[in-house]
Structure 1
Amino acid sequence: MKTHAAVVGKIILSLVMVMVVITIASLVFAIVGTASGMDLAELETSIGEGVLIPYLQMILFIASSFAMYAFFERKKGWSFGLKQRQGAAYALHGAVAGIILISISAVLIWAFGGIAWQTPAWDQEMLVPMLKGAVLFVGVAVSEEIYSRGYVQGLLRYHYGKTVAIVMSSILFALLHSLNPGVFSSPFPFANLIMAGVIMAVAREVTGGLWWPIGLHLTWNYFQGYIYGFNVSGTVPDNSLLSTVDQGPAWLSGGIFGIEGSALTVAVLILGTIAVYMLYRNRKLDAASIIK
């Protein structure tokens, strides 16, 4: 019982640290905004559309992960996953896999009539939002993988083994997105979030580090939003190479949640997880991935 309480307590503490700082930052932002003459609606819009809070959140998840590891786990010697030999190659593998899997999902949804694509007229002004989107999703991929697969999965694996670590870290990963628009509009968004967590958690185990999951996370999000024009976990991209027109039921098209709201994507992620396991299962875990 003491072990269970300690593990749960550490995970809760890692989240509380992030939430407290985010709350304080939001309050400061609100006070400054009110003092400058903004009304409530303007404040909500400014906070919702601003970049300060999202980037602060990314930084805090990374800081929380390293702080918890440094204070409680370093001497235990379990793998955090960043110090990985051939990490760049694994990141490239994951990035290619992300492009393949999201492309298969998008094409299947289109082929079954869930969406239609339109090609907007290219404007050079589109380039800046698309570059900003790339920076944003690099931050999202790195911060969420360091926290979910680096710290949480590593902690759970040390105490309970691989299977529990994969399952529980994937559920927590899905719960971290529970405030996203449309996440509970049907069973499929939450199921897809869990399966996205599973494929990245399995990749974390069979490749021995975080770089493959980081690569997949980045390209999966970026191509979903800025190339194929879907909402990304309920959030709307500023611009995209293609524009989607929803013309099928939400279980097929994904609805307001995007590709991750489609039943077809669940199947693609399940098959992708099996493929990742089969491709990498015989590779030795890299001893250099252990943080000392």
Structure 2
Amino acid sequence: MRLIKKFFSVAGKIILSGLMPLIIILIAGIIYAIISVASGDNLDDLNAVDGARWTLYLQCAVFIASAFAMFAFFERKHGWQMGLNQKQAGHFALQGFFAGILLMTVSAILIWAAGGISWEASNWDQTLIRSLLEGFILFICVALSEEIFTRGYIQGLIKYHYGSTPAIIVSSIIFAFMHSMNPNMFETPFPFINICLAGILFSISRELTGGLWWPIGLHLSWNFFQGYVYGFQVSGMNPGAVVLQVTDNGPVQLSGGEFGAEGSFIASLVLILGIIALYYMYRGKNKSSTLKR
């Protein structure tokens, strides 16, 4: 009976933490649509409500707020930490950032070398520079919100009750389902598989480094370089003006199609190699630190 009660308690907290942001976003979207229609705007021209950039920032804000609220009301007394108060946070964030550049660069070059895409360089102008700046700011917000919510709160909650392995697996699956409404998510099996693998990579990095800053840095550079540098869609979303314009040569399992590099089987291989490399690299460092003590 105690195990069942604990299960429903944990599951209920996870569901509640996700429902609160969704309800707020839905209400804000309805209000926005009503105001737009009353002003004479055409919702088709606005690409419906989801296309508005402000909704992405609102989504980031409410998921962060939900994670902190749930932690403050239910978890602070239990003594576990969400992972933001980490020693050498900047050091870990930079390591993660450069790891994300490496992984996405390898993925993009392999897709290109295999003929899945071709590239054409864009002209450097004010529009491109502004797009890069806006994209970097946006993906800082995305990385912070998704890592604080998924790896900080959900992974921490499950780990406290069930241990590290269930926390990594379940939080990664939840992370993938959080992207289920993204365009072309289920065009092939690879988008869902790769979002799960990315979640595992982020979760293991949170576990091995003891905080959120490594996965935050990795998440930021993975998204930014995928979209604004190498020109792919980012989880099905169009980034706008980019450094390299992509032509999709297919097939979709190779190029990633309209989901982006995360829709390619090559990204699956790179993410798996990244998970293995990260595990052995930090496991070795943790063993060395233990021996020195």
TM-score (norm 1): 0.95
Point out where structure 2 has 5 or more consecutive residues left out of the alignment: 288-293
Give RMSD over aligned pairs. Answer: 1.3
Indicate whether 1:141 and 2:113 are aligned: no
Equivalent in the alignment of 2:72: 70
Matched residue SS, 2:47: helix
Give the C-alpha shift of residue 46 in structure 1: 5.6
Aligned partner of residue 41 in structure 1, secondary structure = coil
Equivalent residue number for residue 290 of structure 2: none
Select the structure with the greater relative contact order (CA < 8 A; seq sep ≥ 6): 1
Supply the distance in 2 between the matched residues of 1:49 and 1:23 (Cα, whole angstroms).
Answer: 14
The residue that corresponds to 2:238 in the other structure is 236
Residue by residue over 1:36-65, the C-alpha shift from the partner in whole angstroms, topping out at 9 and shown as x without a partner, is: 1224424x5262332221111100000000
Deviation at 1:121, TM superposition (A): 2.3
Identity of counterpart residues, as a percentage?
53
1:4 aligns with 2:1: no
Equivalent of 1:262 in 261, 264, 269: 264
- The aligned residue for residue 93 of structure 2 is 91
State the match for 2:23 in structure 1.
20
Distance 2:248 2:237 in 1: 15
Distance 2:234 2:42 in 1: 29
- What's 1:30 paired with? 33
Q: Does 1:102 align with 2:104?
A: yes
Find the counterpart in structure 1 of residue 81 from structure 2.
79
Partner of 2:278: 276
Letter in 2 for 1:217: H
Q: Partner residue of 1:118?
A: 120
Structure 1 residue 283 displacement after superposition: 4.3
Q: Distance in 2 between matches of 1:20 and 1:30?
A: 15
Partner letter of residue 37 of structure 2? T
The one-letter amino acid of 2:11's match is V
Kept after mapping to 2: 8 A contact 1:167/1:198: yes
Give the Å deviation of 1:171.
0.3
Superposition TM-score, scaled by structure 2 size: 0.94
Task: Give, in angstroms, the shift of residue 239 of structure 1.
Answer: 1.0
Check the 8 A contact 1:206/1:283 in 2, yes or no.
no
Cα shift at 1:123: 2.0
Alignment of 1:41-80 (within 5 A): 41-42=44-45, 44-45=46-47, 47-80=49-82
User: Once the two structures are superposed, what CA deviation does each residue of 1:128-147 show, in whole Å capped at 9, x if it has no partner?
Assistant: 11100000000000000000
CA distance in 2, matches of 1:223, 1:112: 19
CA contact (8 A) 2:121 2:244 kept: yes
Structure 1: state its 5+ residue gaps. 286-292
Q: Deviations over 1:238-261 (max 9, x none)?
A: 111111111121111111111000
The separation in 1 between residues aligned to 2:115 and 2:268, in whole angstroms, is: 17
Report if aligned partners of 2:43, 2:49 keep a CA contact under 8 Å in 1. Answer: no
Greater alpha carbon shift after TM alignment, 27-36 vs 164-173? 27-36
